[in-house]
Amino acid sequence: MVIVDKRNNSLSLNLKRENIMNKQETKKLQNEQNRKTAEAQKNRAQELAQETANPFIDNTKHAYNAVLKSNTSLFVSIKAAYEALYVPEAHPDSPEMLAFTIYKSSIISVFDRSSFNKCVRICKNDLIMSNLDRLPVAWSTLSKLDSILTSDESLHSVFIEKLDSNEINVRSTENAVIKMFTKNDEEDEDADCVESTEPVVTYDSTKFTETQLVKLRKAFKTLEELGFTIEDQSAESED
Question: How is the chain classified by DSSP, letter by letter?
Answer: -HHHHHHHHHHHHHHHHHHHHHHHHHHHHHHHHHHHHHHHHHHHHHHHHHHHHHHHHHHHHHHHHHHHHHHHHHHHHHHHHHHHH--TTS-TTSGGGHHHHHHHHHHHTTS-HHHHHHHHHHHT-HHHHTTGGGS-S-HHHHHHHHHHHHH-TTHHHHHHHHHHTTSS-TT--HHHHHHHHHHHHHHHHHHHHHHH---EEEE-GGGS-HHHHHHHHHHHHHHHHTT-EEEEHHHHHH-
Residue 64 pLDDT level (bands cut at 50, 70, 90):
low
pLDDT at 203: 73
pLDDT at 5: 55
pTM: 0.53
pLDDT at residue 160 greater than cutoff 80: yes
| Percent above pLDDT 70 for the chain | 80
pLDDT at 131: 93
